[in-house]
Structure 1
Amino acid sequence: MKDERHAYILEQLEKRGKVMVTALANEQFVTPETIRRDLAELEMNDLLTRVHGGAVPYIPSQKEMVYEKKMLLHLDEKKRLAKQAAAMIQNGDTIAVDVGSTTVHIADMIENLQFVTVVTNSLSAASRFNLAIEEQRLTGQVIMLPGTTNPYQASVKGSYTIEFLQRFNFNRSFLSCGGVTEEAVYDFDMEESLVSEAMMECSQEAILLTDSSKLNKKSVFEICPISKLSTIISDQEKPQDWVNKGYDWINVNATLKREVFN
């Protein structure tokens, strides 16, 4: 049904030049909130641009989506990626978690982990890891990095952030991105990219979480060459034309199918 709605929305957008949420909801016999989620997903895939009350044909932009909007996109996929990431954390680990609408779900997936130190520049991730401690799914501590806040991404960044990060030795860092190609990992914000890079440089293992919508896409700033990653967790297989750069690739959908089959 979702695919049919998406096709209908794009067809009507081509005919009308602009579509409205209320009209689409009535025509498709769904709630306005369902249509808003559809428009958000189509916008994330560069198929349209949302405006107040509806959408217009795609207008290219290099601006990053506001954090709350990103959280609505590919939610099920992001949770599966986060569950796989949480399973990689071991008792006694010191981990870094950067800003992202995927990495933020790692804390929600933790069960029965002890003596873990979490260092993050994500206000949302810090709150969720604190909740995991309160609910006794996790013991340890959460360290919120210093710096300047970015209210649009619920993040902290800047020179203080990077300076403080360089004092750590992480077992694992969990990173998000705005896009990833065969050669490199990218993000939208220069300063947040530098924070993610610093986390990776201070880690024994650098683990990237990326859903399939970000594969073979570039955004504004390069975080690192892809060869610096230890593991990529995604919801599809590695593209066939990508040369092996030495990292592991985990397809959570393939893992899920094996679990169901067994």
Structure 2
Amino acid sequence: MCAMNKEERHVFILDELAVCRKVLVTDLAKQLIVTPETIRRDLAELEMSEDLTRIHGGAVSFIPTHREMVFEKKMSLNLEEKKRIARRAAALIQHGDTIAVDIGSTTVHLADMIEDVQSLTVVTNSLSAANRFNLAMEEQRITGQIIMLPGVTNPYQASIKGTYTIEFLKRFHFNRAFISCGGVTEQSVYDFDMEESLVSETMIACCQEAILLTDSAKLNKKSLFEVAPMSKISTVICDQDKPIDWHEFGYHWITANEF
């Protein structure tokens, strides 16, 4: 393939995206015979023009920041990174803990990674997480109880939300709350749905330690609703190091490499 100019590369990238739904920086660099840095700049420009949305290592079709993907579709993005984050987070769960788990395509993997934890109480508004923790009990990887929060179902996110959810949740005190997000900046944690964000905010308010699980594609991104300031977060678990231009707010940053 002959070297292309920037406009030709952009057309090629969008054509590939239309066919494959996802493109990777490494693959594009080889196909177009340019450096990965050149491809990253191309993707950044295309994202600014709302032609695509960057993810860790590549890009997918454009996702408006005010609109959340259907849960099953979110589950397929950055899957290996999310599993690494969840595995590292699961290692923090101790015997006798009472934990809160909100909805999210990373927090849902916690139950898959947990091993040999006794007398665990899990409180969640995620139907998918509840099912997986039930399976962990059936497989005798944990003992304890799973408490499903009451409220109104959101079938697109397999979640529970609403006034009843918040009021019931306020009665609990958690050792740890495992929180997902739609985006996170140096100052704040964000998510897409206002009511589901209020559930996460309440979990944070009712816990000793708030643990944020986020893949690097969400760093420096804002979505519709602010869940909490970063000063309320105790620990961040991410698949890459904290951005070098972020100041410290007192939380502990854990980089989830192979674990």
- 1:153 and 1:110 map into 2 onto residues whose CA distance is 23
Equivalent AA in structure 1 for residue 83 of structure 2? K
Give 2:19's aligned residue: 20
Select which of 201, 205, 212 maps to 2:205: 201
Give 2:38's aligned residue: none
Q: Which runs of 4+ in 1 moved over 6 A?
A: none
Give 2:256's aligned residue: 252
Give 2:32's aligned residue: none
Determine if the alignment matches structure 1 residue 75 to structure 2 residue 79.
yes
Identity in percent: 67
1:82-97 map, 5 Å = 82-97=86-101
RMSD: 2.6
Q: Is the 8 A contact 1:185 1:224 kept in 2?
A: yes
Give 1:151's aligned residue: 155
Give 1:213's aligned residue: 217
Q: Is the 8 A contact 1:13 1:57 kept in 2?
A: no
1:126-205 map, 5 Å = 126-205=130-209
- 1:86 and 1:60 map into 2 onto residues whose CA distance is 31
Secondary structure of the corresponding residue to residue 123 of structure 2: strand
Q: Is the 8 A contact 1:206 1:228 kept in 2?
A: yes
- Give 1:20 shift: 3.5
Secondary structure of the corresponding residue to residue 160 of structure 2: strand
- 2:63 and 2:196 map into 1 onto residues whose CA distance is 25
- 1:251 and 1:59 map into 2 onto residues whose CA distance is 26
Unpaired segments of 5 or more residues in structure 1? Answer: 1-7, 29-41, 50-55
Inter-CA distance 241–13: structure 2 relative to 1 (3 Å threshold): closer
- 1:249 and 1:17 map into 2 onto residues whose CA distance is 36
Select which of 108, 111, 117 maps to 2:112: 108
Give CA deviations for 1:212-245 in whole Å, capped at 9, x if unaligned: 0000000000000001000000011111111100
TM-score normalised to structure 1 length: 0.79
- 1:220 and 1:11 map into 2 onto residues whose CA distance is 30
Unpaired segments of 5 or more residues in structure 2? Answer: 1-7, 28-42, 54-59
- 1:83 and 1:240 map into 2 onto residues whose CA distance is 25
Inter-CA distance 83–61: structure 2 relative to 1 (3 Å threshold): closer
Aligned residues: 223
TM-score normalised to structure 2 length: 0.80
- Give 1:47 shift: 5.0
Give CA deviations for 1:94-122 in whole Å, capped at 9, x if unaligned: 00000000000000001110000000000
Secondary structure of the corresponding residue to residue 210 of structure 2: strand
Inter-CA distance 213–133: structure 2 relative to 1 (3 Å threshold): same
Q: Is the 8 A contact 1:147 1:156 kept in 2?
A: yes
Give CA deviations for 1:124-156 in whole Å, capped at 9, x if unaligned: 000000000000000000000000000000000
- 1:108 and 1:9 map into 2 onto residues whose CA distance is 41
Determine if the alignment matches structure 1 residue 233 to structure 2 residue 237.
yes
- Give 1:60 shift: 4.0
